[in-house]
Copies of this chain bind each other. A is one copy, B any other.
Amino acid sequence: MESTNRGVTQADIDYFTSAGINVVHSNEQLGGTYNTDYFNKYHGASQTIVFPKCTSQVSTILSHCNNSHISVVTQGGNSGTAGGAMAQQHELLLSLRDMDRIRDLDVISGVLVAEAGCILETLDEHVRKFEYIVPVDLGAKKRCMIGGNVSTNAGGLRYLRYGSLHGNVLGLEVVLPDGQVLDSLFTLKKDASGYDVKQLFIGAEGTLGVVTAVSLALAPKPQSEQLVVLGMDDFVTIQRTFVLARQLLGEIVSAFEFWERRCNELVVQYEGYSSPLSATHEFHVLIETRGSLARHDWEKMDLFLARLRAGKLIGESRVVRDPAEMEQVWLFRSQMANAHMKSGCMHVYDFSLASKHQHELLRAVKAHLHRHKLYGCEQAAVRDVTFFGHVGDDNIHLQVIADEFGGAVEEAMEPWVYQWVGAHKGSVAAEHGLGAHKGQFLKYSKSPVLVDVMKALKRLLDPNDIMNPGKHVARA
């Protein structure tokens, strides 16, 4: 349903300016990153952006927009990949870039209160000085902002160890669409007093209000870190290795990543990195541990590797304990999406799926595209079909690299792949969000009653439909 809200006029701009709010307006479309999302797939058409400096300015903006029926799209670091932060037509862009204050850090309880515009890496560097880390970590950490992490329910690389933002976010400050400030910026861990309203905004992608500040339970900074890269011949071995790691590395496992051969080759080819292992393997696995006593962690790793070797589970292994070398391996891993992008037009899918179905999905996609003469035949439009993922949190990233966006490839893939994932009890969006496009596929993994409740919540909290209209569950 197209929004009936109106566009921004000169009078609106004058109103914001008179309230001391920084506005940038262009008669053409805005330049910079404001109209391009991270994977260069989604493009916006916005001409006006506001940069509030404080919560009360956000309140002034939303109150005005709600009264005047102007739609608002919230932007953080603009590292989203699902188009959720792109203005589709004449919406006002609201950037939280200038709300980047750390409001509080309790060094005894390990609770951080930060404004939405704080860059994730900046927060992590700050709290490390006090022996903590931010529990969420992802490839875009140099650019993404904590408000956007919360709004997209970012999962990231260490979900396995530190869990979900639904558990780690202790409180939020949110400006509701009518300009009211919902102060639920609590800093306490246990709380059973009323409905946990803040949870609705975690993953709402800016459709229910603007998250202006976040209270976050931090994790203790590890005293010891190491990682191991393993080469494997088949996917089943990854699962067996995961079970062994949970048993022998136990509480120190902090990440468990895999990627298949072609992903490795693309990073070498397009990013110029050396492969972390010397031989070629069907699958690479990266396991990281974080603990409090290096000697113990090293011994656990040695015991674990001895068991893997005794069981003939691995072809090659490389333990890395030098910090600079560890960083190199993580850099290699973090270049995966970029390398794919450079190799062609990346149709990217981000699914949750039970581990037993993950490899089956990859094979099904290849066979499906082959049937459509799009893959594995002469003049095929698809160059590569790859996947990599986070073991233990059910999340895989599937890439279909084609000559162009949309077209026959998208037609063959969608909704077919979402139906496949739904039929195998997966989720159509694991950590990238629904954004501009995927709401229409929500029905394949969520029941009609659940979708109806979502839509009712949206109507309740945003009756004028000003917040990111036409996206997310609005498309369901």
- Which residues of chain A have a CB within 8 Å of any CB of chain B? 106, 108-109, 131, 152-155, 159, 163-164, 166-168, 176, 180-184, 186-197, 199-200, 202-204, 208, 220, 222-223, 239, 243, 246-252, 290-293, 296, 299-300, 352-356, 390, 392-395, 425-434, 438-439, 442, 445-447, 449-451, 453-454, 456-458, 460-461, 472-473, 476
Contact = CB atoms under 8 A, between A and B. Distances in A.
A76 to B, nearest CB: 15
Copies of this chain present: 2
Contact of A195 (B159, B203, B426): B203
A447 B200 contact: no
A306 to B, nearest CB: 14
A146 B451 CA distance: 25
A383 B249 CA distance: 50
B292 A356 contact: no
Given A163-B168, A188-B354, A251-B252, 6 more contacts: A180-B449, A190-B395, A190-B427, A194-B203, A196-B199, A296-B299
17 contacts: A108-B243, A153-B192, A166-B199, A188-B352, A189-B393, A194-B439, A194-B451, A194-B454, A195-B208, A195-B454, A223-B250, A249-B292, A251-B290, A293-B300, A296-B300, A456-B460, A460-B460
A461 B200 CA distance: 15
Contacts of A425: 186-188
Contacts of A299: 296
A187 B180 CA distance: 36
Contacts of A188: 352-354, 394, 425-427, 430
Contacts of A460: 456-457, 460
Contacts of A183: 447, 449-450
Contacts of A392: 189
Contacts of A354: 106, 109, 187-188
Given A187-B354, A299-B296, A193 B109 contact: no
Contacts of A243: 108
Nearest to A441: B193
Contacts of A106: 354
Contacts of A355: 108-109
Contacts of A446: 184, 193-194
A457 B187 contact: no
A193 B456 contact: no
A446 B426 CA distance: 37
